[in-house]
């Protein structure tokens, strides 16, 4: 065996006790490096905690916004069905009467509020209000129905803005809500432009042939179906709710609830745990160097030369796996898990300690999964499997990746592909790398 000069040659000639001493010194140096990195991380603990808890805020924001969008879609569907069931002539009459007397009712409600606040003639004003409402239900709905069209149009415009940055899996309900709001606005406007087909019941004459004044809403009776007025008022009320929810959706990314603490010491120990894990991650190159220096002394020169190129590739794949887990896997997984179940029946509360454990487990797991190409190369070089075996099972790997993506993501094809895509790509990269490695080995032989 060809001897290699330097420290590795000295390690080969060491006794068992000397090897233990060398191992002890490398372990101590590695621990010191980890502690130094952890101390630096502890100084920036708040910034690091904000970075690590970013997927939680994104996932909870996604869940809250998604529930709100689905509720908007339900309200829009309900309101649209209610309006479509109304007779056009009756709805048109109610809305035309409302538009005609809107100014009078606005002044009446202003006067009524002033009297109530001042305490003067309160009983008389309320008595008049009850009587007017009974006699002229269509006119008394003026303030409730006013502005319904503008609220529909405003809500549709807000949802279009949200559509540019919509939560996962909400493109369809947003589009459906926009179409429903536009349809209701058009229907409502059409009713206000259709002249009443039946004679105006308010235009009645007394026995002497004298007509009642046409523009006095207090004198003119109204013969409309109270059920129509009730439906229109309900839809108008829904328009207010839809407008409020649509407005709140614009800032949906900043509305996540913070993680909970179940004990006084949980925050401190969680920050310490975070600092240690970040320190370990930052010190990983140094730890790998120390481990390699200790192991390489017992390898042949050809073995060291064959194994050395794997180290930078392993670090690259590890970094890609961690990045993918942080940006895609964790937000999608948390969004699926936290949003599972009926929010009316269960109220999720997540603790900081459990969250950190889950996040670092997923990050480590995805970092190891991204080592799949290296594992495939190792299996082919060791002779346990051949490249043709991986090619033969390609179709099964694709199906398995798609099934896994469908189980762990919301019902949206985009997020399913984001989960299954990297697994399929890694498998294909592994096949290509195995084929290139096999060709190189046959050329050397």
**Which residue(s) pair with 26 in the sheet?**
none
Lowest mean pLDDT of 105-109, 214-218, 246-250, 315-319, name the range: 214-218
Q: What is the pLDDT of residues 409-431, one digit of tens each?
A: 555 565 567 667 787 888 888 88
User: What are the angstrom distances between the C-alpha of 389 and each of 69, 383, 385, 419, 429?
Assistant: 47, 12, 6, 24, 15
Within this chain, do residues 316 and 268 fall inside the same structural domain, yes or no?
yes
- φ and ψ of 196, to 5 deg: -60, 130
Last residue within a domain, chosen from 233, 254, 275: 254
CA pseudo-torsion sign 353, 357, 358, 359: positive
H/E stretch holding 51: helix 45-52
Confidence of residue 200 (pLDDT cuts 50, 70, 90): very low
Strands, E assignment, 161-270 = none
Rounded Cα–Cα distance for residues 279 and 40 (Å): 8
Q: Does residue 46 belong to any structural domain of this protein?
A: yes
Nearest to 325 by CA among 426, 408, 419: 419
Highest mean pLDDT pick, 16-20, 34-38, 378-382: 34-38
Place of tokens 């964790």: 330
Residue 315 lies in a domain: yes
The crossing angle, in degrees rounded to 10, of helices 122-135 and 102-118 is: 150
Cα-based distances in Å from 115 to 32, 103, 142: 79, 19, 20
Asked whether the beta carbons of 184 and 80 are under 8 A apart, the reply is yes
Residue 203 pLDDT grade (very low, low, confident, very high; cuts 50, 70, 90)? very low
Last residue of one domain, picked from the residues 192, 227, 254: 254
The mean pLDDT of 85-89, rounded to a whole number, is: 86
**Domains of the chain: total:** 2
Note whether 71 and 26 are same-domain residues. Answer: no
Which H, E and C letters describe 82-106, residue by residue?
Answer: HHHCCCHHHHHHHHHHHHHCHHHHH
HEC secondary structure over 353-379? HHHHHHHHHHHHHHHHHCCHHHHHHHH
Domain membership of residue 1 (yes or no) is: no
Rounded to whole angstroms, how far apart are CA atoms 317 and 301? Answer: 25
- Chain length of the chain: 445
CA 156 to chain centre: 21
Are residues 221 and 84 part of one domain?
yes
Q: Is residue 212 pLDDT above 50, yes or no?
A: no
My answer on whether 284 and 419 are in the same domain is yes
Region class of 407: left (phi > 0), else alpha (psi between -120 and 50), else beta: alpha
Indicate whether 218 and 164 sit together in one domain. yes
Whether the per-residue pLDDT at 160 is higher than 70: the answer is yes
Residue in the block written with tokens 């002497």: 208
- Dmax over CA atoms of the chain, in Å, equals 131
Rg, the chain, Cα only: 36
Confidence of residue 10 (pLDDT cuts 50, 70, 90): low
Domain match, 269 and 190 both: no
In a domain, 162, yes or no: yes
**247, 268: one domain:** no
H-assigned helices in 136-209 = 137-140, 142-145, 148-163, 171-193
Do residues 195 and 303 share a domain?
A: no
Cα 53 → chain centroid: 14
Residue 207: pLDDT band with limits 50, 70, 90: very low
The answer to whether residue 230 is domain-embedded is yes
Same domain? For 169 and 302 the reply is no
In whole angstroms, what is the distance from residue 420 CA to residue 399 CA?
Answer: 9
* 103 and 244 co-located in one domain: yes
- Residue-wise over 404-414: b if at least 16 C-beta within 10 A, else e? ebeebbbebee
Q: Are 68 and 249 in contact (CB under 8 A)?
A: yes
pLDDT at 73 over 90: yes
The pLDDT value recorded for residue 276 is 92
Q: Which residues contact 61 (CB under 8 A, 6 or more apart)?
A: 167, 252, 253, 254, 255, 256
What mean pLDDT value characterizes the chain? 77
Closest CA to 381 of 307, 282, 272, 292: 307
Q: pLDDT at residue 134 above 70?
A: no
Residue 200 lies inside a defined structural domain of this protein = yes
Examine the fold and report which residue of 235, 254, 273 is the final residue of a domain before the chain moves on.
254
Query: Residue 246, class by beta-carbon neighbours within 10 Å (0-12 exposed, 13-18 middle, 19+ buried)?
Result: buried
Q: Is residue 2 part of a domain?
A: no
Query: Are both 222 and 305 inside the same structural domain?
Result: no
Transcribe 304-329 into DSSP letters.
HHHHTTHHHHHHHHHHHHHHHIIIII
Query: Given pLDDT bands bounded at 50, 70 and 90, which one contains residue 405?
Result: low
Site of tokens 């406007």: 189
* pLDDT tens digits along 180-189: 999 999 998 8
Give 351's DSSP letter.
B
Q: Which residue, chain included where needed, has tokens 């009850």?
A: 130
Shared domain for 431 and 282, answered yes or no, is yes
Of the candidates 188, 185, 105, 90, which has an alpha carbon nearest to the alpha carbon of residue 141? 105
Question: Is residue 27 one of the residues assigned to a domain?
Answer: yes
Range of the domain at 278: 7-56+262-444
């Amino acid at each position: 065996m060809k001897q290699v000069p330097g420290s590795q040659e000295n390690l080969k000639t060491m006794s068992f006790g000397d090897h233990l001493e060398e191992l002890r010194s490398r372990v101590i140096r590695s621990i010191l490096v980890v502690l130094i990195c952890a101390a630096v991380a502890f100084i920036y603990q708040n910034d690091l905690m904000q970075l690590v808890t970013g997927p939680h805020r994104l996932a909870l924001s996604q869940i809250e916004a998604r529930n709100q969008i689905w509720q908007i879609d339900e309200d829009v569907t309900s309101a649209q069905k209610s309006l479509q069931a109304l007779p056009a002539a009756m709805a048109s009459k109610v809305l035309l009467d409302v538009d005609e007397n809107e100014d009078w009712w606005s002044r009446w409600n202003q006067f009524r509020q002033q009297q109530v606040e001042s305490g003067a003639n309160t009983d008389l004003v309320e008595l008049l209000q009850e009587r007017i409402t009974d006699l002229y239900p269509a006119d008394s709905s003026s303030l409730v129905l006013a502005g319904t069209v503008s609220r529909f149009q405003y809500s549709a415009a807000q949802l279009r803005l949200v559509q540019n940055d919509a939560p996962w899996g909400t493109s369809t309900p947003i589009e459906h809500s926009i179409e429903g709001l536009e349809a209701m606005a058009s229907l409502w406007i059409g009713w206000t432009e259709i002249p009443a087909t039946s004679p105006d019941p308010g235009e009645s004459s007394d026995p002497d042939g004298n007509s009642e004044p046409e523009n006095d809403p207090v004198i003119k009776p109204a013969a409309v179906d109270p059920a129509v007025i009730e439906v229109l008022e309900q839809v108008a009320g829904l328009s207010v709710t839809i407008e409020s929810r649509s407005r709140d959706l614009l800032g949906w990314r900043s509305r996540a609830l913070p993680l909970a603490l179940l004990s006084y010491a949980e925050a401190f120990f969680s920050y310490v745990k975070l600092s240690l894990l970040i320190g370990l991650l930052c010190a990983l190159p140094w730890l790998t160097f120390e481990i390699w220096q200790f192991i390489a002394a017992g390898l042949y020169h050809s073995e060291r030369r064959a194994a050395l190129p794997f180290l930078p590739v392993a670090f690259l794949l590890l970094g890609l796996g961690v990045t993918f887990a942080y940006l895609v896997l964790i937000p999608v997984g948390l969004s699926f898990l936290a949003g599972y179940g009926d929010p009316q029946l269960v109220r999720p509360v997540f603790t900081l300690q459990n969250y950190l454990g889950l996040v670092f487990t997923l990050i480590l797991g995805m970092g190891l999964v991204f080592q799949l190409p290296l594992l495939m190369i190792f299996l082919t070089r060791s002779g346990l499997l051949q490249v043709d075996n991986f090619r033969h099972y390609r179709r099964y790997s694709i199906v398995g990746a798609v099934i896994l993506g469908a189980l762990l993501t919301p019902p949206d094809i985009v997020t399913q592909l984001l989960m299954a895509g990297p697994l399929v790509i890694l498998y294909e990269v592994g096949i290509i790398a195995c084929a290139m490695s096999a060709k190189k080995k046959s050329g050397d032989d």
